[in-house]
């Protein structure tokens, strides 16, 4: 079973916002006292945070799907829904966050560094917030927005001051175990180390971290052996230590050829990296130390004497050490401490990242209408932040909510955009991206005689608040009384003239 994972594919989903509430306050003597539906709560964010106690991405290897909690629903009596809790995911120091296409979006270095991987959705407005002079008691509320959904790749690049590199079984694990409190697995066969090991070394006033990188072989920069899986762990180090086996059993190997091969693999890997920031020294220009290990053995001592002059041509410090007898380890630890301090002093002081504000352009359109083929015919797709968000917030089972959406779209100018694009009554219109779009047959708002109509849900006849005076009321009453008396007089005249017949007699007056 895997115990160390340094690259995972993680799917994160922010919490959905809570729906708003549609409610009417009811009090004694006030059965309809006005809307009191509250807003829904905001969904929680998914946050990546560097944690000192986390050293691997193993947890997300087993649980690649992470979702934050959603916001609570709004209630009546103006009781707002609770906000969802943020989901904080601990990651190791040195984690790089990229998109699936390899685009780097965050480099998490430093304990406590945070990155919002997926934002929670906003809560829907209740009918109390939607009330206006024209719509005093809305019978609907807006739905909460879904949380942001993203697929990210997390890649761990070990943050260490010193990296031990070399062939398998060169003694790197034995060195880190002898110089620090790290206890890696040690055995007499190649590729014993399958994961990077970190240790802390204290040499006088110097304190630094040292990493044991798994063994490299020819072709490692192309992925052979453990290859690219662990070459990334040397990118952040200040000092490289080439651990050479001076007592190798293979007849075709010697410390000089081993060093040349490892340097060529490092150079090939460094060439494939993206351009480094100005604050980071290129990999092949960083301080390096050559360590001839296993010189406590007779064969190791003889080989060290033979190759020391050839290695001295590279102008790198050369030390004879032995992890077993601890020969030369004190000198090595102090030398590495001095090199690390010099590298740290050469780094510029960290500056806080500037806050970049990108205002939206004044002429930027809030939506666009594009023509495309849909279901064998021509359709018009509306794209834009506002229309897509409004559609997500609409409860299409409520006619009033649909009418409110239509008003918002018309006010934004969507109907004019559809007219300009060539849409006619009955055209297929889609709002939103991909298969999640809302599809409907477009019915444009009437324009003939529309100037006599008020806003949706209103009637201009109800807006006439004129109250007649007492004299006007008396004149109207007199006119109605006179008209009634005239009708009665005409009916009496008709009766006297014999126009009215007695229903109890026949036509000639006989019963």
pLDDT tens-digit map of 113-164: 899 999 999 999 999 999 988 888 888 999 999 999 999 999 887 767 888 8
Separation between Cα atoms, residue 491 and residue 505, nearest integer Å:
21
Pick the range with the lowest mean pLDDT from 11-15, 93-97, 442-446, 460-464: 460-464
345 vs 253: which has the higher pLDDT: 345
CB contact at 8 A, 53 and 13: no
The number of angstroms, rounded, from the C-alpha of 83 to the middle of its chain's C-alpha atoms is: 18
Residue ranges of the binding site:
166-173, 191-195, 212-215, 293-296, 322-324
pLDDT band (50, 70, 90) for residue 252: low
Burial class (CB in 10 A: 0-12, 13-18, 19+), 228: middle
41, pLDDT greater than 90: yes
Separation between Cα atoms, residue 115 and residue 106, nearest integer Å:
7
pLDDT of 81:
93
Q: What number of other Cβ atoms are within 10 A of residue 295's Cβ?
A: 23
pLDDT of 457:
52
185 vs 247: which has the higher pLDDT: 247
CB contact at 8 A, 280 and 350: no
Report the alpha-carbon angle 125-129-134, nearest 5: 125
Backbone φ/ψ region at 224: left (φ over 0), alpha (ψ -120 to 50), beta:
beta
Q: What is the pLDDT of residues 376-398, one digit of tens each?
A: 888 899 988 899 999 999 998 88
438, pLDDT greater than 90: no
pLDDT band (50, 70, 90) for residue 444: confident
Q: So what CATH class is 1-156? A: mainly beta
CB contact at 8 A, 145 and 16: yes
Separation between Cα atoms, residue 73 and residue 126, nearest integer Å:
10
The residue written with tokens 């007779």 in the block is 298
The number of angstroms, rounded, from the C-alpha of 370 to the middle of its chain's C-alpha atoms is: 27
Where in the sequence of the chain do the CATH 2.70.210.12 domains occur? 1-156
Please state the rounded mean pLDDT for residues 34-56. 90
The residue written with tokens 């003939």 in the block is 448
Among residues 189, 171, 446, the alpha carbon closest in space to that of 319 is found at 171
| Phi, psi for 397 (deg, rounded to 5) | -85, -5
88, pLDDT greater than 60: yes
pLDDT band (50, 70, 90) for residue 191: very low
pLDDT of 499:
60
CB contact at 8 A, 108 and 93: yes
CB contact at 8 A, 484 and 476: no
Distances (CA, A) of 229 to 216, 223, 258, 395: 11, 8, 20, 49
82, pLDDT greater than 80: yes
By DSSP bridging, strand 162-165 and strand 239-245 are parallel
Please state the rounded mean pLDDT for residues 320-340. 88
pLDDT of 68:
95
The residue written with tokens 């509320």 in the block is 141
184, pLDDT greater than 60: no
Among the four given CATH numbers 3.40.50.300, 1.10.3720.10, 3.40.50.2000, 3.40.718.10, the one describing domain 162-346? 3.40.50.300
Please state the rounded mean pLDDT for residues 390-413. 89
Which strand (E) or helix (H) includes residue 96?
strand 95-98
Q: What is the pLDDT of residues 209-234, one digit of tens each?
A: 887 776 565 554 454 545 455 567 67
272, pLDDT greater than 70: no
Q: What number of other Cβ atoms are within 10 A of residue 235's Cβ?
A: 18
Please state the rounded mean pLDDT for residues 444-463. 51
pLDDT of 9:
92
180 vs 74: which has the higher pLDDT: 74
Residue ranges of the binding site for GTP:
166-173, 191-195, 212-215, 293-296, 322-324
Where in the sequence of the chain do the CATH 3.40.50.300 domains occur? 162-346
pLDDT of 32:
72
Residue ranges of the binding site for Mg(2+):
173, 193
Q: Does domain 368-463 have CATH number 3.40.50.1000?
A: no
503 vs 418: which has the higher pLDDT: 418
Where in the sequence of the chain do the CATH 3.30.300.350 domains occur? 368-463
For helices 414-421 and 399-412, give the axis angle rounded to 10 degrees. 70
Pick the range with the lowest mean pLDDT from 142-156, 158-172, 294-308, 460-474: 460-474
| Phi, psi for 436 (deg, rounded to 5) | -85, 5
Which residues 6+ apart lie within 8 Å of 440 measured at CB? 428, 429
pLDDT of 243:
87
pTM of the model: 0.65
pLDDT of 452:
42
Mean per-residue pLDDT of the chain: 80
Separation between Cα atoms, residue 474 and residue 98, nearest integer Å:
83
Separation between Cα atoms, residue 70 and residue 72, nearest integer Å:
7
479 vs 211: which has the higher pLDDT: 479
Q: What is the pLDDT of residues 334-343, one digit of tens each?
A: 998 898 888 8
pLDDT band (50, 70, 90) for residue 399: confident
Which residues 6+ apart lie within 8 Å of 394 measured at CB? 142, 143, 401, 402, 404, 405
Among residues 252, 255, 249, 211, the alpha carbon closest in space to that of 230 is found at 211
Which residues 6+ apart lie within 8 Å of 385 measured at CB? 366
Is 322 in a helix, a strand, or coil? strand
């Amino acid at each position: 079973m895997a115990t160390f994972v340094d690259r995972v594919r993680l799917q994160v989903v922010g919490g959905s916002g809570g729906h708003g509430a549609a409610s009417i306050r009811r009090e004694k003597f006030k059965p309809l006292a006005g809307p009191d539906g509250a807003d829904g709560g905001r969904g929680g964010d998914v946050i990546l945070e560097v944690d000192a106690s986390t050293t691997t991405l193993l947890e997300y290897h087993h649980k690649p799907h992470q979702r934050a909690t959603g916001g609570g629903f709004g209630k009546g009596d103006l009781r707002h829904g609770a906000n969802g809790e943020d989901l904080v995911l601990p990651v190791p120091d040195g984690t790089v966050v990229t998109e699936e296409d390899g685009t780097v979006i965050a480099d998490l270095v430093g304990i406590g560094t945070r990155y919002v991987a997926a934002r929670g959705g906003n809560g829907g407005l209740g009918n109390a917030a939607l009330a206006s002079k024209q719509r005093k008691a809305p019978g609907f509320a807006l739905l909460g927005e879904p949380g942001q959904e993203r697929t990210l790749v997390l890649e761990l690049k070990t943050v260490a001051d010193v990296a031990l590199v070399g062939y398998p079984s060169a003694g790197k694990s034995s060195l880190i175990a002898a110089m620090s409190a790290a206890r890696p697995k040690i055995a007499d066969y190649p590729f014993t180390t399958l994961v990077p090991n970190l240790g802390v070394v204290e040499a006088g006033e110097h304190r630094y971290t040292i990493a044991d990188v798994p063994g490299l072989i020819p072709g490692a920069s192309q992925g052979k052996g453990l290859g690219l899986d662990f070459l990334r762990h040397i990118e952040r180090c200040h000092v490289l230590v080439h651990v050479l086996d001076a007592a190798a059993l293979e007849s075709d190997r010697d410390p000089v050829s081993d060093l040349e091969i490892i340097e060529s693999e490092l150079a090939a890997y460094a060439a494939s990296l993206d351009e480094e920031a100005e604050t980071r020294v290129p990999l092949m220009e960083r301080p390096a130390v050559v360590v001839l290990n296993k010189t406590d053995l007779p064969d190791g001592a003889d080989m060290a004497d033979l190759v020391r002059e050839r290695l001295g041509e590279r102008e790198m410090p050369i030390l004879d050490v032995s992890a077993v007898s601890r020969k030369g380890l004190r000198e090595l630890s102090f030398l590495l401490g001095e090199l690390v301090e010099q590298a740290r002093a050469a780094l510029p002081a960290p500056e806080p990242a500037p806050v970049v504000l990108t205002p939206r352009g004044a002429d930027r359109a809030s939506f666009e209408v594009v023509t495309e083929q849909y279901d064998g015919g021509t359709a018009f797709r509306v794209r834009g932040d506002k229309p897509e968000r409004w559609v997500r917030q609409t409860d299409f089972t409520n006619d009033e909510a649909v009418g409110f959406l239509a008003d918002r779209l018309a006010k934004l100018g969507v109907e004019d955009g559809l007219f300009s694009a060539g849409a006619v009554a009955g055209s297929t219109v889609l709002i939103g991206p991909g298969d999640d779009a809302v599809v409907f047959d477009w019915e444009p708002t009437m324009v003939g005689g529309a100037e006599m109509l008020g806003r949706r849900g209103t009637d201009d006849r109800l807006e006439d608040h004129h109250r007649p005076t007492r004299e006007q009321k008396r004149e109207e009453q007199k006119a109605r009384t006179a008209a009634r008396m005239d009708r009665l007089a005409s009916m009496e005249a008709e009766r006297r003239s014999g126009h009215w017949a007695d229903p109890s007699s026949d036509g000639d007056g006989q019963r």
